[in-house]
Amino acid sequence: MPRPNADVMRTREYTRALMEPGQTEIEIRDAQGDAEVRRFAEVDAESFAGDAAANMRWLSAAVPHAPLRLAHTDGEIVGGYMLLPVGQFFGGRSVPAQALTAVAVHPAWRRRGVGGALMRDCIAFARERGAAVAPLHGATVRLYRRWGWEVCSQTLRQIVRTAALTGFSGSGRVRSNPDRTAVEALRRAHLVRWDGPLDRPDWFLSVQWDPGDGATPRFEYGWYEGDTLTGYVRYESERQPGTWIRLRVQEFIATTLNATRGLLGFLGGQESQSSDVVFVHSALVDVSPLLWLLAEPHRNLEVQGFLCWMQRIVNVEAAVAARGWPARAAGRVELEVTDPVTGVERLVLEVEGGSARVTQGGSGAIRCGIGALSAWYSSALRAQDAVRLGLLEGDAALVAEMDGLVAGGLSWMPDYF
């Protein structure tokens, strides 16, 4: 098992200064004023080959809700990240989370530890703000894994031939631009059944969707059975150079069979201009519902992998207390958890009657890193599989007992941020 470095963060309430041996001091603090946000929009644009004006639009929409933390060195803004305050569903309950996004370091300042300093700041800052977990989509798994995140799944693009959707229909009808509050309420009530979906605040789409790139047409539709909203789809309609339209579905929530079949048939209606519909970023559950709905799924459905959803517990006690646990699960595991930021800790996890708690101490009979524990907590990695992957150690019977404590959860990350 890897041993932690004895890294200790020097923290102040809202400002942190980190010094790597022999290096310039990096100070990380909240963005102050438009000029700093604009400079980060440029750093981010250079990092992702994006457009600074488009970045500024979404950063300006986000800043009232979400802290933007910036790294300063020698009076320059050299990098930063943003945390979106959300919940995340686990075991039927909403766990307080800070979703990490827009991690970037200016190309001229890379490979000097700024990224690492941002991660350490993020872990402490998310915890200070009451988060138990900090999910992200990793363009580089290596960086995040080093700092205690672990992969839960690779987000999938499901590409389905539009012609295969034309035969679907359901009772009800589509209406454009459904009320956002109703959409968020619908998805909360539906997605609580999985482990991992974000419990989004009502402003979420005003930050993640509305600013857009200005060039690609985008649409939102609700599925109504009578006056009741039972489904929701939002997509971009992208014209491919010299060819057809490609529909990129960013979100697809269908709570009834009518909504499922109705919305699929609605997308199928684009067949004359769009040969494919792409459900991006795991908008559909990874084990595709289309396997059961299409007559010939193996001919009409193709799946491609994209970025990984990674998860990190930033406060074990809070994460364990906030999650729902299976009502019939009961037992205890004695853990030794290695965290690259806070060190090695022995913990006893006790589950009973649908809830759980953690106390300090115990024998440390099961040993793992905080990343493997986070993936297990998210129902993405069974402890018994983690043993075979070199991510967890312990007696086989104890490992099986540990898996019994979360058994039954199905992980899914339908949100992209």
Ligand X SMILES: CC(C)(COP(=O)(O)OP(=O)(O)OC[C@H]1O[C@@H](n2cnc3c(N)ncnc32)[C@H](O)[C@@H]1OP(=O)(O)O)[C@@H](O)C(=O)NCCC(=O)NCCS
Evaluate the CA torsion angle 61, 156, 287, 302 in order and state its sign. Answer: positive
User: Does residue 114 bind ligand X (CB under 6 A)?
Assistant: yes
Residue 176 makes CB contacts below 8 A (sequence gap 6+) with 219, 220, 221, 222
CB-based burial of residue 234 (10 Å sphere; 0-12 exposed, 13-18 middle, 19+ buried)?
Answer: buried
138 is a site residue for ligand X (CB under 6 A)? yes
- Hey, is 229 helix, strand or coil? strand
Minimal distance in Å, beta carbon 342 to ligand X? 18
> Shortest gap between Cβ of 380 and ligand X (angstroms)?
18
Closer residue to ligand X (CB): 104 or 405:
104
Q: Are 379 and 410 in contact (CB under 8 A)?
A: yes
Q: Counting contacts by CB under 6 A, is residue 143 touching ligand X?
A: yes
As a whole number of angstroms, the distance between CA 372 and CA 387 comes to 10
* Interface region with ligand X, contact rule CB under 6 A, candidates 102-110, 264-272, 318-326, 389-397: 102-110
284 backbone dihedrals φ, ψ, rounded to 5°:
-100, 150
Among 91, 115, 135, 369, binds ligand X (CB under 6 A): 115
How many residues interact with ligand X (rule CB under 6 A)? 17
- The residue range among 10-18, 111-119, 255-263, 272-280 that interacts with ligand X, by the rule CB under 6 A, is 111-119
Least separation, in Å, of the C-beta of 126 and ligand X?
16
Single out the residue of 67, 80, 113, 262 in contact with ligand X (rule: CB under 6 A): 113
- Number of Cβ within 10 Å of residue 334's Cβ equals 18
Window 385 to 404, contacts with ligand X (CB under 6 A): none
DSSP state of 108: G
φ/ψ bin of 282: left (φ > 0), alpha (ψ from -120 to 50), beta (otherwise): left
Give CA–CA dist 380/295, Å, rounded: 29
Question: Taking CB under 6 A as the rule, does residue 111 contact ligand X?
Answer: yes
Q: What values do phi and psi take at 210, rounded to 5?
A: -60, -40
Identify the residue among 68, 104, 316, 366 touching ligand X (CB under 6 A).
104
Q: Is 17 in the site for ligand X (CB under 6 A)?
A: no
Per-residue contact flags (x/-) with ligand X for residues 31 to 70, judged by CB under 6 A:
----------------xx----------------------
- 84 counts as binding ligand X under rule CB under 6 A: no
Residues in the chain: 417
What's the min distance (Å) between Cβ of 102 and ligand X? Answer: 8
- Residue closer to ligand X, measured from CB, 108 or 189: 108
Q: Is 139 in the site for ligand X (CB under 6 A)?
A: yes
The least CB distance from residue 53 to ligand X, in Å, is 19
Between 10 and 111, CB nearer to ligand X: 111
Nearer to ligand X, 120 or 234 (CB): 120
Phi and psi based region of residue 130 (left: phi greater than 0; alpha: psi -120 to 50; beta: remaining): left
Taking CB under 6 A as the criterion, the residue among 24, 32, 140, 169 binding ligand X is 140
Q: Which residue is nearest to ligand X (CB)?
A: 115
Smaller CB separation from ligand X, 68 or 253: 68
Q: How far is the CB of 142 from ligand X (least distance, A)?
A: 4
Min separation Cβ 112 and ligand X, Å: 5
- Please list every residue from 343 through 372 that binds ligand X, using CB under 6 A: none
| Window of 24-32, 134-142, 279-287, 340-348 that interacts with ligand X by CB under 6 A | 134-142
Element containing residue 261 per DSSP (H, E):
helix 257-268
DSSP, collapsed to helix, strand or coil, labels residue 252 as strand
Which one, 29 or 246, has the nearer CB to ligand X?
Answer: 29
Q: Of 31, 103, 335, 356, which lies in the binding site for ligand X, with binding defined by CB under 6 A?
A: 103
* Distance separating alpha carbons of residues 362 and 348, to the nearest angstrom: 6
Minimum CB distance to ligand X, residue 145 (Å): 9
State the DSSP string of 141-169. HHHHHHTT-EEEEEEEEEEEEGGGGTT--
> Could you tell me which of 196, 255, 216, 115 has the C-alpha nearest to residue 417?
196
Q: Determine the angle formed by the axes of helices 52-62 and 33-48, rounding to 10 degrees.
A: 130
Q: Please, what is the Cα angle at 129 between 128 and 134, to 5 degrees?
A: 95
**Cα gap 165→257, rounded to integer Å:** 14
Q: Given candidates 105, 263, 368, 392, which one binds ligand X under the rule CB under 6 A?
A: 105
Tell whether residue 326 is a contact of ligand X (CB under 6 A): no
Interface positions with ligand X (CB under 6 A): 47-48, 103-105, 110-116, 138-140, 142-143
